A and B are shown apart, each in its own frame.
Chain A
Amino acid sequence: MSDPGAVGGSVTYQRLVHKNSSGFHYMKVSLVFEKEGKRIDGAFFKQLIISALRNVYGEIGAAFPFDVLKFEEKSLTAVLRVYNSGLVKLWSALTLLGSYQNETCAVRVVQVLLPYQYTGGP
C-alpha cells in the first residue's frame, strides 16, 4: 500500500500477494569462511549443503532434490532452487551450518524469491 501523502514521501511500500503455482523457490546465498581467501568450486559447495542437510535431517529427511543454478567462485555466491516443501528444511539446515571439514564457515541467505521474481541474473 503506497502512501504518497507521507512526510518525505519518496519511500513507498508495496505488498503483492501471489499464490505460488510453479512449486519452486529460489534462494540467493553467500558462503562466508572464517579464513579469508579460501576458494572452492560448485561441486564442493553442493556437497557442503548436502552434508549440512544430512546432519540436521538425516538420510531420509535430506532426500529431497535441490539445484545449484549458479555459483560464482570469486564472490562465493550462489543461486539455489528448491521445491516449496523443501524450503524450510533447506533454509534451516543452511542456518545451522557451522563448519565443513574443520573449516569454520557460514551461509548467509541474501534473498528468497518466487519464480516470477527470479530474472536469471547473478
Chain B
Amino acid sequence: MVRFKSRYLLCEVCVSNPSDLRLLDERAVFFAVKAAVSRAHGDYGTALIGMCFSVKYLNAHTGVVFLRCRKSHYRMLWSALPFISSLESRGQRVPCFFNCLHVGGTIRTCQKFLIRYNTQQLHRLLPRCRSDSELVGYVGFHRAKLHCCRFVVQ
C-alpha cells in the first residue's frame, strides 16, 4: 500500500593498491559519501541525505558496497559519488574511486545483478589468463565475490 521506497546503489570501491582494501570500513565510506554530498549539493543535500542514508553492506575483500537512500533523492547521492577521491580510515588516507554498478529497489535485485555481473567478468577475464597461477587467482577471487553475494540476503 503505502510504504517508504528506497534505492540501493551497488558500488565498487576501486583502489590502486589491493592491500588497501582491508582498511575499508563502513564508517569511512559513510563519512566520505556525506562529505562528497555536502561539497556537491551544499546544506540542502546534506539535510536530505542526513535523514535516510546508510551503508548497508561492505565487503572489504572485494570492495563491494551497498548504499541505501530514499527514492526521491537517490540521484543527488549518485551524482556526488564521482567526486570521492579518497577514504579516511584508521588514520590513513586511501586513494580510491567509487564505481556505481547498479541501482536497484531492493537488496535482492542488486544481489541478482551482482551474480550476473561477476559471472560475465569471469568469462571476460579467463581467456586472458596466461598461467595456471593467474587462473587459480581469478577463479578464487570471483568465487569469493559470488559467495559474498549469497551472504548479503541472509
Binding site for B on A (CB under 8 A): 54-62
Given contacts A55-B42, A60-B40, 8 further A-B contacts (CB under 8 A): A56-B44, A57-B41, A57-B44, A58-B43, A59-B42, A60-B41, A60-B79, A61-B42
- Interface size of B by Cβ–Cβ distance < 8 Å? 11
Query: Looking at A54, A57, A62, which has the most chain B CB atoms within 10 Å of its CB?
Result: A57
Q: Which residues of A contact B79 (CB under 8 A)?
A: 60
Whether A59 contacts B44 by the Cβ 8 Å rule is no
Task: Give complex CA distance A54, B41 in Å.
Answer: 8
Q: How far is the CB of B134 from chain A (nearest CB, A)?
A: 41
A-B pairs with beta carbons under 8 Å apart, 5 shown: A56-B42, A57-B42, A58-B44, A61-B40, A61-B45
Task: Give complex CA distance A59, B80 in Å.
Answer: 10
Whether B39 contacts A61 by the Cβ 8 Å rule is no
Whether B43 contacts A59 by the Cβ 8 Å rule is no
Whether A59 contacts B39 by the Cβ 8 Å rule is yes
Whether B43 contacts A55 by the Cβ 8 Å rule is yes
Q: How far is the CB of B76 from chain A (nearest CB, A)?
A: 8
Task: Give complex CA distance A56, B40 in Å.
Answer: 10
Q: How far is the CB of A52 from chain B (nearest CB, A)?
A: 10
Task: Give complex CA distance A100, B89 in Å.
Answer: 35
Q: How far is the CB of A63 from chain B (nearest CB, A)?
A: 10
- B118 interfacial by beta-carbon distance below 8 Å: no
Q: Which residues of B contact A55 (CB under 8 A)?
A: 42-43
* 9 A-B pairs with the lowest CB-CB distances in the bound complex, closest first: A58-B42, A58-B41, A57-B42, A60-B40, A58-B40, A61-B41, A56-B42, A56-B43, A57-B44
- Residues of chain B in range 7-58 having any CB-CB distance to chain A below 8 Å: 37-45
Q: Which residues of A contact B37 (CB under 8 A)?
A: 58
